[in-house]
A and B are shown apart, each in its own frame.
Chain A
Amino acid sequence: MSNKIVLGLVLGGVLGILDGLTAWFTPAVRAGIVGIVFGSMFKGLIAGVLIGIFARKVHSLALGILFGLAVGAFLAWIIAFMQHGYYFQIMLPGAMVGLIVGYATQKYGASSQLQRA
């Protein structure tokens, strides 16, 4: 079983890419899809690492989910702030990705102590 940080990183990255790819369905932003995908992936990676580190330190499903939600929403807010709009369309999926990563890292990732054992 993978390390919690690695799990957060992989899951955050993959969900970030998927999140970015959905912009293709919005004709207004389709031209900048590559930048959106990379930005979204980068956001997902950062969220994944932070949530993974948190999961290693704190063993609580509820707190992990809350932390993931908060980190995902905060990073998405930064993107939306830079975009000067689309707050709801960016923050809701971002928060959901954080929530999923928060849940997954608490539930599945192996802690470093277990891996050493």
Chain B
Amino acid sequence: MKFLPDQVVARLQTGMQTPDLSGTRYRAIELLGQGGMGAVWLAQDSILQRPVALKVLAAENSSADLASRLMQEAVILARLEHPGIVPVHDAGTLPDGRTFYCMKLVEGKTLDRYALKLPLRERLRLFQRIAEPLAFAHSRGIIHRDLKPANVMVGSFGEVLIMDWGLAKVMATTGAPSPTNPVPRQVVVDLEESSAATQISGGAFSTPKQDPGHVMDATELYPPAKQVSGHVVDATELSPLAKQVSGHEFTRAVQGSLKTGALAPENPTAHGTVLGTPGYMAPEQERGEVNLIDQRTDVFALGSILKHLLQEPPGSQEHESYSRPLRAICAKATSAGMSARYPSVQDLAADVGRYLDGLPVSAYRENIFERMARLVSRNRVAVVLVLAYLFMRLLFILFSRR
């Protein structure tokens, strides 16, 4: 029996994974990243003559629910038109049956790499920019649920993009109030969570449009998903699966959560669980209390990112001691209790902004000495001028007495 050389096996594997783009406008160039569920390919759009990124479901994972989830991610991204969120150009099914979507090719570095050598103030300003697209997503009722430095890209011109919305949760069909929909309705759709899925399939709410607190069928929110896959996850498709991740027992888990975290290999998110990334997951997310998840869950993750950004870069000469207000901001954002956190990412970013501007932050009550020090630090030139004036006056008085 003759074994094939490793290179040949690797080549065959690559060949199997390469999406069949025949008859499409795209031409695969190279594999950018690969995870358990799918892969992202650099491709050339032959019509518009530009490079794009194709996110394609892995051949072995082309089940209908996963295809539906990938499409859901595409639909969510398409709803979030914001400079800080990667735009989706196209979505559909390839000739080989695999679901894909096409998005802008983002060239840049992940946040952890980009921020490595930045001074503290620039890191904090960068942090503020991360909050903007997130706040926009929240205003559209979408919770990211997997924020971490590896999911934030900083482009060549310093533009910040939040990536990987594969775990995003739709909280509400808020959008902008319109004449036909003056008051946004609160809805919960979470295809990964078994209880929500039970409600979706149970048909317990027969008059959804009259009940502002009802749980909507995913197809109400995502008609394109239905058209593409004809599939809505229900409870019978979800199998309980508990997985130990970083010492936390996840009791609620579902089969087939589409996870693209493999593009960030340094912080992979475990496959097949109700998820986020340990260290960035809020306690309610770790406990699998999906009904509790709201924008404060992302506030927790954002607070964890802030903590990460405050870490001293390796080999750094500037030993900045992070002041108590900054530590207090981190502590408030990452409070175990949801009610103790900032109510929104805007509030968190605003507190960081206040710190940068030398203003008191809401998370920290300073004493009189700290207040004085902050005021002097903020108005250094004015203080120097007044001191110079007083010194001059003192000299005049001393000389006039001689």
B377 to chain A, nearest CB (A): 15
User: Looking at chain B, what size class is its interface with the partner chain?
Assistant: 10 to 19
Which residues from chain B contact A89 at a C-beta distance below 8 Å? 396, 400
Residue B401 interfacial (CB < 8 Å): yes
Q: Is A49 an interface residue (CB 8 A)?
A: no
**Any chain B CB within 8 A of the CB of A103?**
yes
Interface of chain B residues 342 through 383 with chain A (CB within 8 A): 381-382
A106 nearest CB across to chain B (Å) = 11
**Interface set, chain A 97-114, CB cutoff 8 A to B:** 97, 99-100, 103-104, 107
Please indicate the chain B residues that have their CB under 8 angstroms from the CB of A97 in the complex: 389
User: With A and B bound together, what is the CA distance between A89 and B389 in angstroms?
Assistant: 13
DSSP class of B's interface residues: helix, strand, loop or mixed? helix
The verdict on A33 contacting chain B, using a C-beta distance below 8 Å, is no
With a CB–CB cut-off of 8 A, which chain A residues contact B397? 22, 25
A93 in the interface (beta carbon within 8 A): yes
**Interface assignment of B392: CB less than 8 Å from any CB of chain A:** yes
Residue from the list B381, B382, B386, B396 in contact with A93, Cβ < 8 A: B396
Given contacts A25-B400, A26-B400, contact A103 B393 (CB under 8 A): no
Residue of chain B at shortest CB distance from A27: B400
Q: How far is the CA of A104 from the CA of B389 in the complex (A)?
A: 14
B48 contacts A by Cβ under 8 Å: no
Say yes or no: is B4 at the interface (Cβ < 8 Å to chain A): no
Q: Answer whether residue A63 sits at the interface, using C-beta atoms and an 8 A cutoff.
A: no
Minimum CB distance partner of A88 in chain B: B396
Is B381 within 8 A of A103, CB to CB?
yes
| Residue contact A93 to B385, C-beta cutoff 8 Å | no
What residue of chain A has the Cβ atom nearest to residue B389's Cβ? A96
Question: What is the CA–CA distance of A103 and B389 in the complex, to the nearest angstrom?
Answer: 13
B388 at the interface (CB under 8 A from A): yes
Q: Give a binary string over A3-15; 1 marks a CB under 8 Å from any B CB, 0 the rest.
A: 0000000000001
Given known contacts A25-B397, A25-B400, A25-B401, is B382 in contact with A107 (CB within 8 Å)?
yes
Chain A: which residue is nearest B388 at the CB level?
A96
CB of A66 within 8 A of chain B? no
A109–B401 Cα gap in the complex (Å)? 38
Chain A residue numbers with a CB within 8 Å of B386 are: 100
A103 / chain B contacts, CB cutoff of 8 Å: 381-382, 385
Interface residue A92 (Cβ < 8 Å from any Cβ of B) = yes
Chain B neighbourhood of A104, CB < 8 A: 382
A22 to B389, CA, bound (A): 12
CB distance from A12 to the nearest CB of B (A): 13
Closest to B399 in A: A89
Asked if residues B400 and A100 are in contact (CB atoms below 8 Å), the reply is: no
Enumerate chain B residues within 8 angstroms of A25, measured Cβ to Cβ: 396-397, 400-401
Nearest-neighbour CB distance to chain B for A44, whole angstroms, equals 13
Contact B396 A100 (CB under 8 A): no
Contact A100 B392 (CB under 8 A): no
Q: B381: which A residues are within 8 A, CB to CB?
A: 103, 107
The interface residues of chain B lying within 8 Å CB-to-CB of A107 are 381-382
Nearest residue (CB) in A for B397 is A25
Take A25-B397, A25-B400, A26-B400 as given contacts and tell me if A96 and B382 are in contact as well, using a CB distance cutoff of 8 Å: no
Q: Look across to chain B and name the residue whose beta carbon is closest to the beta carbon of A24.
A: B397
> Are B393's CB and A22's CB within 8 A?
yes
Residues from chain B with Cβ under 8 Å of A26 in the complex: 400
Bound-state Cα–Cα, A62 to B389, Å: 19
Jot down 30 A-B pairs with beta carbons below 8 A, ordered by A.
Answer: A15-B389, A19-B393, A22-B393, A22-B396, A22-B397, A25-B396, A25-B397, A25-B401, A26-B400, A27-B400, A89-B396, A89-B400, A92-B392, A93-B389, A93-B392, A93-B393, A93-B396, A96-B385, A96-B388, A96-B392, A97-B389, A99-B385, A100-B382, A100-B385, A100-B389, A103-B381, A103-B385, A104-B382, A107-B381, A107-B382
A residues sitting closer than 8 Å to B (CB atoms) are 15, 19, 22, 25-27, 89, 92-93, 96-97, 99-100, 103-104, 107
Q: 6 closest pairs, A vs B, by CB? A: A25-B397, A26-B400, A96-B389, A100-B385, A22-B393, A25-B400
Known: A25-B401, A93-B392, A96-B385. 18 other contacts (CB 8 A): A19-B393, A22-B393, A22-B396, A25-B397, A25-B400, A27-B400, A89-B396, A93-B393, A93-B396, A96-B389, A100-B382, A100-B386, A100-B389, A103-B382, A103-B385, A104-B382, A107-B381, A107-B382
